[in-house]
Structures are given as structure tokens and as C-alpha cells.
Amino acid sequence: MKKILLLLLVGNVLSAQNAELFNNNWYISKIIDNGQTTTTPAMDIPLSKSDFIAVSGSMGSGYAFNSKHFNSCQLEISFASGTNSFAKTNAACTLSMYGGNNQTAVNNYDQKHQNFYIIPVTETFTYEIVNNGSDKMLIITKNSNGDKIYYNNTNSFLATKENLLKEAFLIAQNPVKENLMIEHVEKGMPFQIFDVTGKLISTGETSGEKFKIDTQHFAKGQYILIIKGSKPLKFIKE
């Protein structure tokens, strides 16, 4: 009976919040830090979605916000009843360094993103959702200093970036076992392989129109191959 009452209570709290927070995937688009506006810089890997989720565990139920750029920040949050605001009760960010193209801009932007949610230890935020037809913009404001992070519900940055790139090269066999076979690429093009967390796994240069990458030491899972000037492709290591 207690478990049923707890589930009902969580459901009622969630319905009282702005459902659009939870019903959309959000993609970081710009940061306003100390009055300076910086748009999301181009990266060699796809921009991951940020999202609000309901969580439950041994200590009870609540909510979390996962904000993602190159690194990810996860906040345990509590909503203030009747307001468009929430407080962080705990927060942590991954601390990887991006090493691809445009790395200075990406790492500087990523540091702003982490500082926004980690510093100070206790913080409250307000949020606003601006609707423009099917397009939505989420604005999160840090109440202690007025800094803001903007998110869109569509990854227009990725779509624009991919439109400027060449059609994808060909992965001859996918999933792969010992070697990743690549076709239809230019010789001497730098490539990078990332896992799904954004960790850089391998780098090198293409050796010809057809070449192979040794994947014997790769753990099983999904990876993203990026060859300079071409659209990224995912592959699976068996």
C-alpha cells in the first residue's frame, strides 16, 4: 500500500510540473556567461540530447536533469511547487578533454557548461520554455548571477553541419569483428573513433580509397567513426 501511495504522489508532482520539460529532448545551443554570449561550437562528434527524467531508488523518488555538451552534467533536482524553478540537491560532471577539430573553442565552451551547473555547490534555477510552433526553446537561468543556458528541442546545429559535409564513406561490414573495412575515402584524411560516451578511442589517417582499422582491442559496443570532411557513421563491434 505504501508503494502504491508513493507512486501516486510522484505522478501527481510530475503532472504539476511543466510537462514539456520531460516530453522533449533538448540540445544545448548557447551560453550567456557574465553577459557574454557564446553559441555552441562545431565538434567532430554529434551533439547529444539533454533531458529531464523521473528517477527512483532505495532512498526514494525524485527528478534529474542530464545536460550534455561534450561532457555530461547530471543534476539531482527538486522542483519548487507552483513556480518555474528547481534546486539542485546534488551534481556531477564527466571530465574528459575533447581533442578533435576546433578543440580550444569546444573545451572552453564545455568548461562554461560545467561551471554553470557545478559552481556553487548549492544553487537554484528558473526555467522558461518559448514556443514557436513545433520549435521550442528552453532557457535555464542561474539565480545567483543571472547566467543562462539555452536549449532547442531540435538539433538544428547538427543538421546544418551535416548538410555541409560530403556524403558518407562506406563501411563494408557492420557489425565488425577484427577489422573495420572502409571504402570510398580520400588518402591522407585524418580520422577519429569515439565510443558512445564521447571518449576518444583511436586516431589515424586514411591510407587509400580502401583501408582497414584494427578493432581487435575494442570492447563490444557502439562506436562513431569520423573522417575529416565526411558525415560521421556509427558501427558496432561484436
**What span, in angstroms and rounded, lies between the C-alpha atoms of 227 and 208?**
13
| Confidence at residue 186, expressed as pLDDT on a 0 to 100 scale | 83
Q: What is the mean pLDDT of the chain?
A: 83
Report which of 66, 34, 27 is spatially closest to residue 48, judged by C-alpha positions. 27
- Report which of 201, 191, 211 is spatially closest to residue 237, judged by C-alpha positions: 201
Query: How much helix, strand and coil, in percent to the nearest 5, is found in the chain?
Result: 20, 45, 35
Residue 80 DSSP symbol = P
pLDDT of residue 38 exceeding 80, the answer is: yes
Q: Is the pLDDT of residue 14 over 60?
A: no
Whether the domain at 2-162 and the domain at 165-237 fall into the same CATH topology: no
6-10, 11-15, 135-139, range with greatest mean pLDDT? 135-139
Between the CA of residue 221 and those of 22, 175, 179, 197, what are the distances in Å?
28, 10, 14, 11
CA-to-CA distance for 231 and 151, rounded, in angstroms?
Answer: 23
Cβ contact 79:86 at 8 Å: yes
Top-level class of domain 2-162: mainly beta
Task: Look up cell 559552481; give the residue.
Answer: 119
- Between the CA of residue 13 and those of 28, 54, 59, 95, 186, what are the distances in Å? 26, 10, 17, 33, 55
What is the structure's pLDDT at 155?
Answer: 67
The CATH topology of domain 165-237 is Immunoglobulin-like (2.60.40)
Mean pLDDT, residues 81-92 taken together: 91
pLDDT score of 1: 44
Q: Provide the grid cell at 97.
A: 578533454
- Confidence at 2, pLDDT banded by 50, 70, 90: very low
Flag whether the pTM goes above 0.85.
no
pLDDT given for residue 42 in this prediction: 83
- pLDDT of res. 200: 82
Q: Which tens digit of pLDDT belongs to each residue from 117-143?
A: 999 999 999 999 998 877 899 999 999
Check pLDDT > 70 for residue 56. yes
DSSP letters, 88-124, are EEEEEE------STTHHHHHHHHHHHHHHHHSSSS-E
Q: Whole-angstrom Cα distance, residue 50 to residue 57?
A: 21
Look at residue 165 in the predicted model and tell me its pLDDT.
46
Give residue 157's identity as a one-letter amino acid code: F
16 or 105: whose pLDDT is higher? 105
Amino acid 114 reads Q
How confident is the model over 209-218, as a mean pLDDT? Answer: 90
Domains of the chain by residue range = 2-162, 165-237
With 70 as the cut, is the pLDDT of residue 58 above it? Answer: no
Residue 17: its pLDDT value, please?
Answer: 53
In this prediction, residues 92-117 reach a mean pLDDT of 92
Q: How much is the pLDDT for 122? A: 93
Average pLDDT over every residue of 85-91: 94
Is residue 41 scored above 50 in pLDDT?
yes
